[in-house]
Structure 1
Amino acid sequence: MAKINANYEAVYILQPDLSEEQISALVAKFKAVVEANGTVSEIDEWGKRRLAYPINDLMEGYYVLMTFTAAAAIPAELDRIFRITDGVMRSMIVCKDQ
């Protein structure tokens, strides 16, 4: 069976109290997960933004947008890693091809 790749976008919000080193380490970690079996097109760090509603009593978050191409199993693994990583407040992965 042929391996089919699709284009995805992942947006995740990190806790605002993380240091710059911690933020860059998490961004590199998520990039490495995708690059294991896919390619990262772009990582756009939006920085600290005000949230629309409080999450865990926090009103700010550090936003990151990652655009990548990967097989269907990679977004599921990335979502699992988002959920178990300390410092990630929210995340969403969307397939742009559909």
Structure 2
Amino acid sequence: MAKLIANYETVMVFSVKDGEESVNALVEKFNSLISENGTINNVDTWGQRRLAYPINDETEGYYVVVEFSAAPEFPAELDRIYKITDGVLRSLIIAKDEEA
């Protein structure tokens, strides 16, 4: 039988070139999107940090890590939205083990 709910973790790196208001709007957008389609278990805001290498000529990014539970179909849709949203430099979604 397929799982109805699975645990995931996503890391989002946002562009800081448009200012703090833009970053806060993106964080709020994705937090509300995740909470509409699942349950947020933990949000860890790392804040602005230097990137390991330049991305689109930017050397700094704003990092947010979100742990959430959702249906197995949702991460693919979330990844699609990450890719079409301006201001998202990088993102990663992983499935977490039940034992962790």
Q: Which residue identity does 1:19 align to in structure 2?
A: G
Which string of whole-angstrom CA distances, capped at 9 and with x for unpartnered residues, describes residues 16-38 of structure 1? 22322222211111112112221
Q: Look up the SS of the partner of 2:18 in the other structure.
A: coil
Identity of aligned residues (%): 56
Q: Which runs of 5+ in 2 are unaligned?
A: none
Q: Give the TM-score taking structure 2 as reference length.
A: 0.88
Asked if the contact 2:16–2:23 (Cα under 8 Å) also holds between the matched residues in 1, the reply is no
2:47 is the counterpart of 1:22: no
- 1:70-89 aligned at under 5 Å gives the runs 70-89=70-89
**Range moving further from structure 2, 86-95 or 18-27:** 18-27
Q: How far is the alpha carbon of 1:74 from its aligned partner?
A: 1.1
Q: Distance in 2 between matches of 1:18 and 1:44?
A: 22
Q: How far is the alpha carbon of 1:3 from its aligned partner?
A: 5.8
- 1:1-98 aligned at under 5 Å gives the runs 4-97=4-97
Q: Which runs of 5+ in 1 are unaligned?
A: none
Q: Distance in 2 between matches of 1:30 and 1:77?
A: 12
Q: Distance in 2 between matches of 1:73 and 1:28?
A: 22
Structure 1's consecutive aligned runs of 4 or more residues displaced over 3 angstroms after TM superposition are none
Q: Which residue identity does 2:89 align to in structure 1?
A: M
Asked if the contact 2:13–2:90 (Cα under 8 Å) also holds between the matched residues in 1, the reply is yes
Q: How far is the alpha carbon of 1:82 from its aligned partner?
A: 0.5
Q: Give the TM-score taking structure 1 as reference length.
A: 0.89
Aligned residues: 98
**In angstroms, what is the RMSD of aligned CA positions?**
1.7
